[in-house]
Amino acid sequence: MNYKTLIGLEIHVELSTKSKMFCGCKNEFGSAPNTNVCPVCLGHPGALPVMNKKALEYAIMAGLSFNCDIRNSFKMDRKKYFYPDLTKGYQITQQDMPLCENGYVEVHTDEGIKKIGLIRIHMEEDTGKSIHNEEGNTLLDYNRAGVPLIEIVSKPEMSNADEAREFLENLKETLKFIGISDVKMEQGSLRCDVNINILDEDSDFKTKITEIKNLNSFKAVYKAIIFEEKRHLEMMKNKDVGYKETRRWDDASNSTVVMRRKEEGSDYRFSVEGDIPITFVEDSLIGEIKNNLPELPSQLMKRFVKEYNISEYDADILSRNKYLSSYFEIVAKEVQDPKLVSNWLLSDVLRRVKEAEIEFEEVKMESKNFAKLLKLIKNKDINNNTGKKVLRKLFEENFDPEEYVKEKGLIQVNDDSVLEKIVDEVLANNPESINDYKNGKDRALGFLVGQCMKASKGKGNPQKFNEMILKKIS
């Protein structure tokens, strides 16, 4: 059997405009409930929507960044359904004339770069937020109603959870780079639904599509895909097409749970939004937005390789995060050693970021202080081990490393006469290790260097110790 997993994603992204999509209310997270509302976003009779030009420009920026065709004219539509969080009884969205079409997002696979196609990016408004309290009541906060959204719909061209995760990471960082959204999943600024099924390429038999909703993290997306892929494989082996259904991810059971089954497609009774006329987008506006786009991650990676002479692998990681890439450039120009900066950022610093479970932009360590630390290492004022210890503290507290190493007496000893005296004492006290080294036991050299470092209280230059020992015992 030749099975193929088909994964498509639908991503809703809140745009970081100052006001809502069709009214002047503030677009602000965390305000007191129902304070950023007006007759337009509450759907009062007779209130007329007016399109937010900045939201339109942001949507075009997203389309251009993901290689889409931009439509020169479009309409808005009414998508009708009756939920308490939708005060008008319909959502203003785009049905058959999306603003952006036919783009792609690149991901890395074992076979090389793979382009995941985008069907569309369209504009719409967000709904209110339902809050379920302990008494069993549902409260409604309409501050989010009318917030500008773009919905990004991919083709079902991802084959596994790794591709889906990288797709989301690349998409998220690109949106952050161009500055149109803060893409904070924990605040609902980025929300993702997964569509998944499996095809037997030999017989064209395939399972029915499962939609997974309410995924609040990339980790949840990854785990949900893994779970559903296994479930669909079992269905495939039993020649069971399953049901077209919506599921949610349950962290407690590490599984998806059925929410509802879809016997038929939803009938939203789409109609043209009569209160908003057809909108025309001039080529000159699209060209102006394109010319003012910031440097995108793919462009940044190529420049880093050329300008800083670092590996493509390092440049790729550094260019994926807007704040990390900017931090790298600032420090690299100060230290004048891009490879040293890259090595420390990608190993020690990013490891600490991961352990702290924070985003890079939350790092307390100022770039100027990190640059000072690397200069101390580069100039051999401190050794690598001392540098790692200082970094551990600097990451947590942020201070001037130059003053700190002087105050703590951590400056590396480079005086040959001092180091040679230590080497002579260590060699005199460890004749067996000398013989071991001469008999081919290379670990003995590391032991002798370690004894020298211990005798110097960690302040000696390990490279010089190594050279002196070899010279004396060879």
Tokens encoding 444 = 């003995």
pLDDT tens column, 145-168: 999 999 999 999 999 999 999 999
Beta bridge partner(s), residue 190 = 13
Confidence of residue 9 (pLDDT cuts 50, 70, 90): very high
Mean pLDDT of the region 358-367 = 93
CA 253 to chain centre: 26
Task: Calculate the average pLDDT of the chain.
Answer: 92
**Mean predicted confidence (pLDDT) in 441-453:** 89
Q: How many CA atoms lie within 13 A of 423 on its CB side?
A: 24
Q: What is the pLDDT of residue 343?
A: 97
| Neighbour count for residue 341 (Cβ, 10 Å) | 27
Proportion of the chain above pLDDT 70, given as a percent: 99
Q: Is the dihedral of CA 349, 353, 356, 359 positive or negative?
A: positive
Give yes or no for residue 263 having a pLDDT over 70: no
Rounded percentage of the chain residues whose pLDDT exceeds 90: 69
Cα–Cα distances in angstroms (integers) from residue 346 to residues 109, 163, 174, 352, 367, in the given order: 21, 22, 20, 10, 15
Handedness of CA 184, 117, 126, 220 (dihedral sign): negative
Q: What global pTM score does this model have?
A: 0.83
Question: What are the CA-CA distances from residue 307 to residues 312, 333, 367, 453 (Å)?
Answer: 12, 11, 20, 38
Over residues 200-235, the pLDDT tens digits come to 988 889 999 999 997 888 999 999 999 999 999 999
What's the rounded mean pLDDT across residues 278-293? Answer: 96
pLDDT for position 122: 98
**Tens-place pLDDT, residues 297-341:** 989 999 999 999 999 999 999 998 999 999 999 999 999 999 999
